[in-house]
Amino acid sequence: MFFVSPAGESRLARIFAIPLEMQPSAELLIVGSGADAKGDSGAEGLIDLANHILQQLVKDGTLYPSEYEQMAIPTYYRTAEEWKEPFTSDFIRKSGLSLDDLKNSG
């Protein structure tokens, strides 16, 4: 998941700046969650469970309804194509960063 900061800089942009700080022979391994071509991650049940627990906390009086209403569970699971796309830019290629392998464990 990559968030955009108030300044507009994404975590992905910061990751792509890492090669500037790495030794020429270094390798960077990124492990992230993904989704299939339909956008399904397999983690949808976990989000439903978290929501159920939060609703129970409201029911129990531990969490105010207004707090629950303001909550978000920010999740986004990239498809394989979305993981590959940033590596197609000229800037990334010129930086020396490349995507050498992408594995789907699903």
Confidence check: pLDDT of 103 > 90: no
- Which amino acid would we find at residue 97? L
Torsion of CA 78, 14, 88, 92, to 10 degrees: -160
Confidence check: pLDDT of 90 > 50: yes
What percent of the chain stands above pLDDT 90?
21
Quickly state the pLDDT bin for 2 (edges 50, 70, 90): very low
**3-state SS assignment for residue 10:** strand
Euclidean distance between CA atoms 29 and 36, whole angstroms:
21
DSSP string, 37-63: TTS--S-HHHHHHHHHHHHHHHHHTSS
Per-residue pLDDT tens over the stretch 5-25: 444 456 666 666 666 676 777
Q: Which residue has the higher pLDDT, 39 or 30?
A: 39
Q: What is the value of pTM for the model shown?
A: 0.53
> Which pLDDT value is given to residue 68?
93
Q: What's the mean pLDDT in 68-89?
A: 84
**Segments making up each domain of the chain, as ranges:** 8-37+77-98, 42-76
> Which pLDDT value is given to residue 5?
45
The mean of the pLDDT values for the chain is 78
